Structure 1
Amino acid sequence: MKPASRLQRRQHPQIWNSAPQLADIPIISTQTLISAGSRAVILAPHPGDEVGACGGLLQLLSNLDHPMLLISVTDGSLGHPGSPLWNDERLRTFRPHPQESVDALHRLGVPPNGLQWVRGGFPEKSLAEHEEPLAAFIGHHLRPGDVVFSTWRQDGDSDHDTVGRAGALAAEVIGAVFNELPVWAWHWPLREQKRIPWHRARKLRLDVWTTARKRHAMHAYSSQLNGEPASGIAPLVPRVILDRMGMPYEIVFI
């Protein structure tokens, strides 16, 4: 996820809690979104994106015993430059052995054998320079008939946008269905609401327990939630992100 400092200028109201179009988005069921027998493929640019973008969807699919593949594109190793707490040694412990992500999936209720998990190891914050090999990497793990869920190609974060473009290309080549998940776009100022493709938006409802588990899972990423005031380092995931995760739905661009 992107540093909180980039959101400091984004005050309320934001699109996620103020756009009137949100109330009119058509409802879609999990079964309509993903037909029986199809495999769901989740593309996560950074650790935590799979929870922030579609932690509810992961739970619903797990409950239905849908086959799932999670592709973690980067390990998030560049999230704490200059941090005395999250130094290179500690990051090597937490990220290359992704304990936070393992814990997050456990909190979602997704069993260890409930999905396949592929980690790309691509360099964070410079994915745009590796878009072609990234598309090939994603395509290598796709098969015809898959239903892909990626961050939106216009989400506003370079890595998110790149994963969206690479995922769209790979899905087209392989013959998979491609869907997009806005993450940071919800935190644009309300005046930017016309940039959202509302005609493509569908709302996946989440019950109170699914919503609560999604928030609980995000709290597994302690390295992103806890800043270091003494060092002047803000949390990577600001409070407003957790507030948005309390909404009883997820939005998918189909």
Structure 2
Amino acid sequence: MRAIEGNGTPEDEWRAWAAMADWPSLPLDAPGPPLVVAPHPDDEILGVAGLMALLGAADLAAVTDGEASHPGSTVHTQDELAVIRRAETGEALRRLGLGKCRVHRLGHPDGGIEEETLAKELAALLTPGRWCLVTWRGDGHPDHEATGRAAAHACTETGARLLEYPIWTWHWAYPNDPEVPWQRAHRIDLPAEARAAKAAAIAAFPSQIAPLGPAEADAAILPPHVLARFTRPFEVIFA
């Protein structure tokens, strides 16, 4: 787990890192709709919405409903936030052209994912060779890491293909950080249409990208300096 605080590594530093241009492209040869695993609503959109749009099909495993995003909120209860974030996910998928995407809501508590149970649930959704897109096991957020480990175990059990996407890594890491598996990094270059679809999908999460209210406890979880990391003309996968 990492301390995810402050402004983190500025996006300008990432964009100036020449090595990113040399990463190989990820072949878009998925044998069918991938299983995209999201610890919280919006993780899948930030990480791989462009790829989802390019593939034109996906199933989503929503591990939690993200009800603990604002634990001290003066505006919404956790039950209310869960309802809001589920609805935001549905709208984001529609904006990607994936409104008929099958969503498996696994109902784990936000901040209390049961890793062994999750591994079994994911294994039941996977088959040999199927792509499993999930947050990287070293991403720094405990739910992201637990979900990544559970998915890795499920892929080992089923023969599915594990593909990990970083989210908070872009915050705490830095270019050429030795703790990040850059040697496994692949790019997914996004044409203008996919970039526009991703931007629209991100905008479907007002509960995360805008304040819920004036209190500090209701501040945006994804302010502009964080969102800047997900507006690149490419996405990154550790394969």
Normalised by the length of structure 1, the TM-score is 0.85
**Corresponding residue for residue 30 of structure 1:** 28
Shift of 1:111: 3.1
Change (3 A) 1:81 1:204: same
Kept in 2, the 8 Å contact 1:211–1:245? The answer is no
**Which residue of 171, 184, 190 maps to 1:187?**
171
> How many angstroms apart in 2 are the aligned matches of 1:40 and 1:152?
16
**Corresponding residue for residue 237 of structure 1:** 222
**Corresponding residue for residue 71 of structure 2:** 81
- AA partner of residue 100 (structure 1): E
Identity %: 33
Structure 1: gaps spanning 5 or more residues: none
- AA partner of residue 30 (structure 1): L
> How many angstroms apart in 2 are the aligned matches of 1:162 and 1:19?
29
For each residue in 1:110-141, what CA deviation from the matched residue of structure 2 results, as whole angstroms up to 9, or x when unmatched?
232xx2210111011122xx111111111122
> How many angstroms apart in 2 are the aligned matches of 1:228 and 1:101?
17
Q: Secondary structure at the match of 2:68?
A: coil
Change (3 A) 1:93 1:45: closer
> How many angstroms apart in 2 are the aligned matches of 1:104 and 1:241?
18
Deviates more, 1:200-209 or 1:138-147: 138-147
Kept in 1, the 8 Å contact 2:64–2:105? The answer is yes
> How many angstroms apart in 2 are the aligned matches of 1:45 and 1:187?
18
Shift of 1:11: 4.8
1:162-173 correspondence runs (5 A): 162-173=146-157
After TM superposition, which residue ranges in structure 1, 4 or more long, deviate above 6 angstroms?
none
> How many angstroms apart in 1 are the aligned matches of 2:36 and 2:166?
13
1:16 aligns with 2:2: no
Change (3 A) 1:91 1:24: same
Larger helix fraction of residues: 1
Kept in 2, the 8 Å contact 1:47–1:74? The answer is yes
> How many angstroms apart in 1 are the aligned matches of 2:83 and 2:26?
40
Change (3 A) 1:147 1:13: closer
**Corresponding residue for residue 197 of structure 1:** 181
Change (3 A) 1:86 1:139: same
**Which residue of 51, 76, 81 maps to 2:45?**
51
**Corresponding residue for residue 208 of structure 1:** 192
1:138 aligns with 2:122: yes
For each residue in 1:200-251, what CA deviation from the matched residue of structure 2 results, as whole angstroms up to 9, or x when unmatched?
1111110122112211111111111122563113211121232122211111
**Corresponding residue for residue 119 of structure 1:** 105
Shift of 1:84: 2.0
1:99 aligns with 2:90: no
Shift of 1:198: 1.7
Shift of 1:88: 3.9
1:154 aligns with 2:138: yes
Change (3 A) 1:88 1:251: closer
- AA partner of residue 232 (structure 2): M
Q: Secondary structure at the match of 2:143?
A: helix
- AA partner of residue 93 (structure 2): L
Shift of 1:19: 3.2
- AA partner of residue 76 (structure 1): G
Normalised by the length of structure 2, the TM-score is 0.90
> How many angstroms apart in 2 are the aligned matches of 1:248 and 1:88?
34
Structure 2: gaps spanning 5 or more residues: none
Q: Secondary structure at the match of 1:155?
A: coil
For each residue in 1:134-164, what CA deviation from the matched residue of structure 2 results, as whole angstroms up to 9, or x when unmatched?
1111112212221111110001111111111
